[in-house]
A = this chain, B = another copy of it.
Amino acid sequence: MRRMTARPANAHQARLLKLLRDGGPNSRAQLGDQVDLSRSKLAVEVDRLLETGLVVADGLAASRGGRRSHNIRLNPELRFLGVDIGATSVDVAVTNAELEILGHLNQPMDVREGPVAVFEQVLSMAAKLKASGLAEGFDGAGIGVPGPVRFPEGVPVAPPIMPGWDGFPVREALSQELGCPVMVDNDVNLMAMGEMHAGVARSVGDFLCVKIGTGIGCGIVAGGEVHRGATGSAGDIGHIQAVPDGRPCACGNRGCLEAHFSGAALARDAVEAAEQGLSEELAGRLEANGTLSAVDVAAAAAAGDATSLDLIREGGDRTGQVIAGLVSFFNPGLVVIGGGVTGLGHTLLAAIRTQVYRQSLPLATGNLPIVLGELGPTAGVIGAARLISDHLFSPA
């Protein structure tokens, strides 16, 4: 199949495409109910969309007591590629135009190997997905990187944990390789978009999405729009001071949140605890694997290891204190916790909640749910697909 190149010609068409994406197949009449256009005008726009091939009419729906309606849906052959580059792994997924995941691959990989090596990996994963028959090509791709991005250009800027990526033209390079439009964003923003599209944050206008993985970041959604900040570094909360004169951080300061709690910090603390003989559980795991990760701590905690539970609780306290400040400041309607360490589950969540509810003002916390993300590792790739679909489903 030849890839789609059409874009909606006007705001009406854009609106219709997004309704079909978010609400699934619909009859013309159902669309008319949602879009405040006359039936005639609607019919015209739908016909034009049918001509472009962006949507198709396949078959008739069951009757509801009258003439049967045509099923209007997004072209089922459209394919988006969602790429989520984490600090230590790469996720690549194919979705249809309704952003349903058709195939998903995950591969451990260190971003610090640089853009060239990572791109090679991403492309080979995309090729594998294609080879398995899920796609013949891609109509668009979204990609998230673990650092600040100059959004309009799709270029990472001054990323602390990914040297070598600074200024690398991610958007342009990937667009060239894949032969389709590409949008680039920070991975945390994409997670927020994912949860907003298909996760816990559906229909919430203002929320925060805290991602705790190798580092810590926070997606900010205000009025339904992702807030990226003046230089694309909004949400970079890993280096907010959590502990005065605390642990030294890679950034040069002391007491940064990330230095006290994150996947990396937790692993480090666990190794320390094991070596000091504080926990047999952790020591055993360290001996077995030669190293420890957040997953080990989670497992040890699940097995009742007190030291691990303490580590998690303490980290949750630190994180909760910082989030409490952000809640006072931003007054979100929802806080989503996600990322690798969500395996720590309810021990972590309880600690965070306690701190936030204790420290923030009642008005801000009165009706504030603090919940785990619903989509887990797929939030990023869904958000990435959503990013590019938002772009392609807007008037050119």
Contacts and interface: CB of A to CB of B under 8 A. Distances in A.
Contact of A364 (B236, B253, B328, B329): B236
Interface string A239-275: 1110010000001010000000000000000000000
A229 B325 contact: no
A315 interface: no
Contacts of A232: 331, 363
Interface stretch (A9-17, A69-77, A218-226): A218-226
A326 B229 CA distance: 12
- Per assembly, the copies of the chain total 2
B321 A231 contact: no
B330 A231 contact: no
A277 interface: no
A259 to B, nearest CB: 13
Q: Is the interface of A mostly helix, strand, loop or mixed?
A: loop
B160 A361 contact: yes
A380 B383 CA distance: 40
Residue among A228, A240, A368 having the largest count of chain B Cβ atoms under 10 Å: A240
A158 B359 contact: no
A237 interface: yes
A78 to B, nearest CB: 30
24 contacts: A157-B363, A160-B361, A220-B329, A227-B330, A229-B330, A229-B331, A229-B364, A230-B331, A230-B333, A231-B363, A231-B364, A232-B363, A233-B363, A234-B331, A235-B329, A235-B331, A236-B328, A236-B329, A237-B325, A237-B329, A239-B328, A240-B328, A241-B324, A251-B361
A158 B229 contact: no
Nearest to A355: B241
A243 to B, nearest CB: 8
A361 B332 CA distance: 24
A362 interface: yes
Given A236-B331, A239-B361, A241-B325, 7 more contacts: A229-B331, A230-B331, A233-B331, A236-B364, A237-B329, A241-B321, A326-B329
A367 B232 CA distance: 13
Nearest to A243: B244
Contact of A206 (B158, B229, B328, B330): B229
B241 A359 contact: yes
A214 to B, nearest CB: 17
For the side of the interface on A, what is the size category?
35 or more
Given A240-B325, A325-B322, A330 B220 contact: yes
A148 B251 CA distance: 36
The 4 closest A-B pairs by CB, nearest first: A229-B331, A230-B333, A234-B331, A240-B325
A79 to B, nearest CB: 32
A152 interface: no
Contacts of A290: none
A305 B10 CA distance: 66
A366 interface: yes
Nearest to A334: B230
A223 B233 CA distance: 15
Contacts of A223: 222, 225, 227
Interface string A359-388: 111111011100000000000000000000
Given A206-B229, A222-B222, A362 B158 contact: yes
A119 B160 CA distance: 53
Contacts of A239: 328, 359-361
A392 B358 CA distance: 41
A230 B221 CA distance: 11
Nearest to A205: B230
Contacts of A359: 239, 241, 253
A253 B328 CA distance: 14
A233 B206 CA distance: 12
